[in-house]
Protein backbone atom coordinates (compact mmCIF):
# COMPACT_ATOMS: atom_id res chain seq x y z
CA UNK A 1 0.00 0.00 0.00
CA UNK A 2 2.82 2.33 0.75
CA UNK A 3 4.17 1.82 -2.76
CA UNK A 4 0.75 2.60 -4.16
CA UNK A 5 0.59 5.79 -2.13
CA UNK A 6 4.05 6.78 -3.30
CA UNK A 7 3.11 6.08 -6.90
CA UNK A 8 -0.08 8.09 -6.56
CA UNK A 9 1.79 10.85 -4.78
CA UNK A 10 4.41 10.86 -7.52
CA UNK A 11 1.74 11.02 -10.22
CA UNK A 12 -0.06 13.85 -8.41
CA UNK A 13 3.23 15.76 -8.08
CA UNK A 14 3.91 15.31 -11.80
CA UNK A 15 0.41 16.47 -12.69
CA UNK A 16 0.68 19.47 -10.34
CA UNK A 17 4.13 20.34 -11.76
CA UNK A 18 2.73 20.19 -15.29
CA UNK A 19 -0.22 22.37 -14.33
CA UNK A 20 2.04 24.81 -12.50
CA UNK A 21 4.37 24.94 -15.50
CA UNK A 22 1.37 25.74 -17.70
CA UNK A 23 0.19 28.39 -15.22
CA UNK A 24 3.72 29.86 -15.03
CA UNK A 25 3.91 29.96 -18.82
CA UNK A 26 0.53 31.71 -19.04
CA UNK A 27 1.50 34.09 -16.25
CA UNK A 28 4.77 34.90 -18.00
CA UNK A 29 2.87 35.56 -21.23
CA UNK A 30 0.45 37.86 -19.40
CA UNK A 31 3.34 39.71 -17.74
CA UNK A 32 4.87 40.39 -21.16
CA UNK A 33 1.50 41.63 -22.43
CA UNK A 34 1.03 43.89 -19.38
CA UNK A 35 4.55 45.29 -19.85
CA UNK A 36 3.76 46.00 -23.52
CA UNK A 37 0.51 47.71 -22.55
CA UNK A 38 2.31 49.78 -19.90
CA UNK A 39 4.92 50.87 -22.44
CA UNK A 40 2.19 51.82 -24.91
CA UNK A 41 0.35 53.70 -22.18
CA UNK A 42 3.49 55.66 -21.31
CA UNK A 43 3.99 56.60 -24.98
CA UNK A 44 0.34 57.63 -25.32
CA UNK A 45 0.53 59.66 -22.11
CA UNK A 46 3.53 61.57 -23.49
CA UNK A 47 1.72 62.16 -26.77
CA UNK A 48 -1.34 63.48 -24.91
CA UNK A 49 0.88 65.84 -22.90
CA UNK A 50 2.52 67.09 -26.10
CA UNK A 51 -0.87 67.58 -27.75
CA UNK A 52 -2.16 69.45 -24.70
CA UNK A 53 0.86 71.77 -24.88
CA UNK A 54 0.33 72.33 -28.60
CA UNK A 55 -3.38 72.93 -28.03
CA UNK A 56 -2.60 75.50 -25.33
CA UNK A 57 -0.09 77.23 -27.61
CA UNK A 58 -2.57 77.29 -30.51
CA UNK A 59 -5.36 78.53 -28.24
CA UNK A 60 -3.14 81.38 -27.03
CA UNK A 61 -2.05 82.15 -30.58
CA UNK A 62 -5.69 82.14 -31.74
CA UNK A 63 -6.67 84.53 -28.94
CA UNK A 64 -3.75 86.80 -29.86
CA UNK A 65 -4.74 86.75 -33.54
CA UNK A 66 -8.39 87.45 -32.69
CA UNK A 67 -7.28 90.50 -30.70
CA UNK A 68 -5.15 91.64 -33.64
CA UNK A 69 -8.05 91.16 -36.07
CA UNK A 70 -10.36 93.12 -33.77
CA UNK A 71 -7.82 95.94 -33.55
CA UNK A 72 -7.38 96.00 -37.34
CA UNK A 73 -11.16 95.97 -37.86
CA UNK A 74 -11.44 98.92 -35.47
CA UNK A 75 -8.72 100.76 -37.40
CA UNK A 76 -10.59 100.10 -40.64
CA UNK A 77 -13.83 101.40 -39.13
CA UNK A 78 -11.99 104.50 -37.89
CA UNK A 79 -10.44 105.06 -41.32
CA UNK A 80 -13.79 104.59 -43.05
CA UNK A 81 -15.39 107.03 -40.64
CA UNK A 82 -12.56 109.51 -41.18
CA UNK A 83 -13.16 109.29 -44.93
CA UNK A 84 -16.78 110.18 -44.29
CA UNK A 85 -15.92 113.18 -42.09
CA UNK A 86 -16.01 115.55 -45.06
CA UNK A 87 -18.86 113.90 -46.93
CA UNK A 88 -22.12 115.73 -47.23
CA UNK A 89 -25.10 113.97 -48.77
CA UNK A 90 -27.92 116.14 -49.99
CA UNK A 91 -31.11 114.59 -51.29
CA UNK A 92 -34.20 115.90 -52.92
CA UNK A 93 -32.61 118.19 -55.52
CA UNK A 94 -34.27 117.45 -58.84
CA UNK A 95 -31.92 116.70 -61.72
CA UNK A 96 -31.97 119.12 -64.63
CA UNK A 97 -31.22 117.92 -68.12
CA UNK A 98 -28.39 120.43 -68.64
CA UNK A 99 -27.25 120.80 -65.04
CA UNK A 100 -23.73 121.79 -64.10
CA UNK A 101 -22.66 120.13 -60.85
CA UNK A 102 -19.92 122.74 -60.27
CA UNK A 103 -22.46 125.57 -60.34
CA UNK A 104 -24.89 123.56 -58.23
CA UNK A 105 -22.18 122.84 -55.64
CA UNK A 106 -21.19 126.51 -55.54
CA UNK A 107 -24.81 127.48 -54.85
CA UNK A 108 -25.13 124.83 -52.16
CA UNK A 109 -21.81 125.86 -50.59
CA UNK A 110 -22.89 129.47 -50.36
CA UNK A 111 -26.27 128.49 -48.86
CA UNK A 112 -24.48 126.31 -46.27
CA UNK A 113 -21.81 128.95 -45.55
CA UNK A 114 -19.05 126.66 -46.82
CA UNK A 115 -16.12 127.97 -48.83
CA UNK A 116 -15.95 126.62 -52.35
CA UNK A 117 -12.39 125.35 -51.70
CA UNK A 118 -13.67 123.04 -48.97
CA UNK A 119 -15.64 121.07 -51.54
CA UNK A 120 -13.24 118.58 -53.09
CA UNK A 121 -15.63 116.49 -55.15
CA UNK A 122 -19.22 116.61 -56.31
CA UNK A 123 -21.15 113.74 -57.81
CA UNK A 124 -24.75 112.87 -58.32
CA UNK A 125 -25.96 109.48 -57.14
CA UNK A 126 -28.93 107.70 -58.60
CA UNK A 127 -32.09 107.97 -56.57
CA UNK A 128 -34.39 105.20 -55.48
CA UNK A 129 -36.22 105.08 -58.78
CA UNK A 130 -32.94 104.98 -60.74
CA UNK A 131 -32.99 108.68 -61.68
Q: What pLDDT does residue 131 have?
A: 55
Question: Confidence class of residue 75 from pLDDT cuts 50, 70 and 90?
Answer: very high
- CA dist., res. 19 & res. 16, Å (int): 5
More confident residue, 36 or 121: 36
The maximal CA–CA distance of the chain, rounded, in angstroms, is 141
Percent of the chain with pLDDT over 90: 44
Residue-range domain boundaries for the chain: 15-85, 87-123
Handedness of CA 109, 115, 117, 120 (dihedral sign): negative
- CA dist., res. 99 & res. 101, Å (int): 6
Question: Confidence class of residue 123 from pLDDT cuts 50, 70 and 90?
Answer: confident
Question: Confidence class of residue 130 from pLDDT cuts 50, 70 and 90?
Answer: low
- Do 88 and 113 touch, CB atoms closer than 8 A? no
Q: What are the backbone dihedrals phi and psi of residue 19, each rounded to the nearest 5 degrees, phi first?
A: -65, -45
- CA dist., res. 79 & res. 94, Å (int): 32
| Count, residues in the chain | 131
Amino acid sequence: MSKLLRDISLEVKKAVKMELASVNESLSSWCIKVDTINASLAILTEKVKDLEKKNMYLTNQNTHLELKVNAIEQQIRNMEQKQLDNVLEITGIPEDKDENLEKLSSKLASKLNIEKGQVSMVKRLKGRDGK
